[in-house]
């Protein structure tokens, strides 16, 4: 499929041929769902912890007599039904991470890229850098591409290489996320209102994901 390469000011410069195998796939909601869930699960700390009745510090004596009170029998004050007692079936530290088949994960990335390319939220932009590493210079370059009515949108910038100066300039912009072409994240890509792919990154994506 053919796409336009635009400048940082939004002016059309030339056309580029995007690989159909990467940017022309049909929508596959299932594989996108699984990829995003996998990333969110792998990011969980899993450190939530509660004490059960055997771990709570307290007396082992009965709160009242076994018989004669007319009430239900109780073993000790550490029972979950008492204030300050243990927690019944509470969370314990655990590892939520799991692996996803590589082919399925690659298909998810290609499907999201295809979705963004087909619905018009992805733009191929000429390569640029920010030599000063300053935020205001980066915003001045891509402000027109990332804003709607002057309001910055959640934007994903796909790079060919780890451009240190560009990342330094954008690290304190909460609405801007950087991804390298061979280390994409399904969650960031899918929920990005704007996806900016550098021209060199678009060519690298075609080579990296082609026939794999």
Instruction: State what percent of residues in the chain have pLDDT above 90.
Output: 77
- Write the DSSP assignment of the chain as a string of letters: -EEEEE-TTS-EEEEEEPPHHHHSPPP-HHHHHHHHHHHHHHH---------TTTS-S--S-SS-SSSSSS-----TTSTTSTT-PPTT------------HHHHHHHHHHHHHHHHHTT-EEEE-----TT--HHHHHHHHHHHHEETTEE--EEEEESS--HHHHHHHTT-TTEEEEETTB--HHHHHH-SEEEEEHHHHHHHHHHHTT-
Domains located in the chain, CATH noted? 2-38+101-209 (3.40.1370.10)
pLDDT in tens, 86-127: 999 999 999 999 999 999 999 999 999 999 999 989 999 999
**150: pLDDT confidence band, cut at 50, 70 and 90?**
confident
């Amino acid at each position: 499929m053919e796409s336009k390469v635009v400048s940082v000011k939004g002016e059309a410069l030339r056309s580029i041929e995007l690989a159909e195998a990467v940017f022309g796939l049909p929508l596959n909601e299932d594989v996108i769902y699984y990829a995003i869930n996998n990333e969110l699960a792998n990011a969980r700390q899993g450190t939530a912890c509660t004490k059960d009745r055997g771990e709570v510090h307290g007396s082992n004596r009965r709160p009242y007599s076994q018989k004669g009170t007319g009430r239900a029998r109780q073993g000790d004050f550490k029972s979950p039904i008492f204030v300050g007692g243990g927690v019944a079936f509470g969370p314990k530290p655990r590892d939520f991470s799991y692996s996803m088949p590589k082919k399925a994960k690659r298909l998810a990335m290609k499907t999201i890229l295809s979705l963004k390319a087909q619905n018009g939220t992805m733009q191929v932009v000429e390569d640029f850098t920010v030599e000063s590493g300053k935020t205001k210079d980066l915003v001045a370059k891509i402000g027109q591409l990332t804003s709607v009515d002057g309001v910055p949108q959640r934007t994903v910038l796909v790079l060919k290489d780890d451009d240190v100066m560009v990342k330094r300039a954008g690290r304190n912009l909460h609405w801007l996320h950087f991804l390298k072409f061979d280390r994409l994240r399904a969650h960031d890509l899918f929920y990005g209102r704007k996806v900016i792919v550098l021209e060199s990154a678009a060519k690298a994506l075609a080579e990296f994901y082609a026939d794999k």
